[in-house]
Structure 1
């Protein structure tokens, strides 16, 4: 169960940017198929945060059919780049179609395969990173990209509060230092949050919309 009230999500949608026709189509697809996306409330935050850091390069660990990448792309300059990664070739092809129809394909790169292996092929810096792959691999994703995040760049981790088999009460106890039996996903999120909170090169806050987004900013003059 998601402890973030649904009323917050609904109100955030009312306050946030109006989804365009492509986003509306992707939302309808997600609802029909039960496909998890960040949703328009979080999507609006992705676009806003990317704009605030003047993002030119974005890397995604897990892109699905391109929902979050579409929101990011709207904040990028014409010569900007969002790198999508996805292990499902069919979903990646759908992502390409959505971004083409939205006019953003020229600033997108579509990588098929494991995101943690793919990021090793790229040099930084990245201004924005979205971690949204397997929950028990969030820490592995952060380790792979931490040194490639630009100063004042941001790392966003979706599902920092809820998703699938994440048990919120157990997550809270783990972060408080109490060890409990729980799911691999819950433990993976807890390990990730402890890692970014203890990393002196980053400062981290929680954005309590959607299923929770941990936002970590790379501090200037710190080696990651």
Structure 2
């Protein structure tokens, strides 16, 4: 698409309300800008922290963590004995995540798992009060199904990139959700399948947070 489906003014207002960044987050933002590394950005990061506080999160699981950006935003919302599980297939990025969280004083509540996130979550019993789904888009449904029973009532599953994500075609996703037949690419199909999965799951209620690249927030109600 030539135009972003999310208005820039929304992002600007959201950033204005975001908690102040410390020096570590500022450095992480600079790194992301310099290297073109896709992070959720400060507007979504602030919302992730707020969501974690709203559900009194004690444990968090991330499907895909990169160099720890989203985890760093959420870490201050957890109690000192809380836990956030980062997963990443790139060992170098995981080492960077460990270094950033250590510098911020949050490494003691973080677990760094190198490998496939969907396989990793099988080794955890839960519960996880907040789950961030940010791995391969064509595996979003697989990630949700792997963690679904580990999310308690009152917990949330948050999926990033539900409106924008590289090759994702928003019009195709919208058409697929409307039941139309579309020859969509794997990314668009994967996101559409995920949104339909959470939308039709009676144990969850889902809404869209129109920030960053589109964040779907699913609250477990049953």
Identify whether the pair has TM-score above 0.5, normalized to the shorter chain: yes
Q: CA deviation at 1:6?
A: 1.8
Please, which runs of 5 or more residues in structure 1 have no aligned partner?
none
Q: Over residues 53-107 of structure 1, what are the superposed CA-to-partner deviations in whole Å (9 max), with x where a residue is unaligned? A: 0000000000000000001101000000000000000000000000000000000
Residue in structure 2 matched with residue 139 of structure 1 by the alignment: 141
Q: Where do residues 75-224 of structure 1 align in structure 2 (5 Å cutoff)?
A: 75-219=77-221, 222=222
State which of 5, 14, 19 in structure 2 corresponds to 1:12.
14
Q: State the secondary structure of the residue aligned to 2:62.
A: strand
Residue in structure 2 matched with residue 22 of structure 1 by the alignment: 24
Q: CA deviation at 1:151?
A: 1.2
C-alpha distance in 2 between matches for 1:129 and 1:197: 17
Calculate the TM-score normalised by the size of structure 2: 0.98
Q: CA deviation at 1:7?
A: 2.0
**Structure 1 stretches of 4+ moved >4 Å:** none
C-alpha distance in 1 between matches for 2:17 and 2:48: 15
C-alpha distance in 2 between matches for 1:180 and 1:154: 30
Q: Which range moves more in the overlay, 174-183 or 49-58?
A: 174-183
Aligned pair count reads: 220
C-alpha distance in 2 between matches for 1:179 and 1:165: 18
Q: CA deviation at 1:3?
A: 1.0
Q: State the secondary structure of the residue aligned to 2:78.
A: coil
Q: Where do residues 26-37 of structure 1 align in structure 2 (5 Å cutoff)?
A: 26-37=28-39
RMSD value, Cα = 0.7
Q: State the secondary structure of the residue aligned to 1:140.
A: helix
C-alpha distance in 1 between matches for 2:13 and 2:181: 35
Calculate the TM-score normalised by the size of structure 1: 0.97
